[in-house]
Amino acid sequence: MSIIAIGGGDLTHSIFDKILSLITTKRDGNLYIGLITDASFMTPKQNIEKILKGFNKQKRNYPTFKFIIENFRLLDYKNNKNDLTRYFTYVDILFMTGGHQQNIYNNISTLLKYNINIKRYFIDFLSRGGLLVGTSAGASILGPLMPPVLGKGIGLIGTIIDQHFVQNRRFNRGLRFVRDNPRLGLIGIDEDTMIIHNYRRGHTGKRYYKIFGDRLVVIISNIKGHIKVKVLRNGNSFYI
């Protein structure tokens, strides 16, 4: 029942291998991977093919699994609540692709009008032992607020998540976010790097994360008006 947030990029072989190594609920049989593509509305082919290729290259390392990978939009289920419930019950990995986080947020907001609360679906999925992954825009929306304009996110993670952080020189904007939202703090994840959080339903207080990948993670917090910055890398862990 883990949440993984990836800072974007091409995504290395080791990233996909690490994701699959975290599947602990089964050792063989069908491995169902659902690619949630709502954020990729403008560039679906590029984002989807990258993820498909990454997972398919892992088949030789996991010969006991039969990979079944499907891509879909959450919004397509607005009139099929029962089908969405059934899908979330049997899928093992849900992977939110990159693109524009406002697209996926708009779709999630639309689903609320149809009495479909996606956050609750995600929480139930995680509680059953599922693995939820988001990259780039799919990572940012996991937090309570999402860059660049700090619109509302899903809130599965209690901290602002920014992606492509070092690569796109987003440190100054991260400082601004934390000054304006001192209670939240920020996790800035660079490309080809991810944070792993063992989700616990109803968790309050600080959360524990581990880092895996080739580049850096920057933690920015605001403690009683004093800005604190940590720069971490593969193998490090932190609370925020």
Domain count across the chain: 1
pTM of the model: 0.94
Residue 27 has pLDDT above 80, yes or no: no
State pLDDT tens for residues 51-74. 999 999 999 999 999 999 999 999
CA dist list (Å): 168 to 44, 97, 130, 179: 22, 19, 31, 20
State pLDDT tens for residues 99-148. 988 899 999 999 999 999 999 999 999 999 999 999 999 999 999 999 98
41: tokens are 């509305």
Q: Which domain holds residue 194?
A: 2-239
CB within 8 Å of 3: residues ≥ 6 apart: 126, 132, 133, 134, 142, 156, 157, 196, 197, 199
State pLDDT tens for residues 166-180. 999 999 999 999 999
47: domain CATH number is: 3.40.50.880
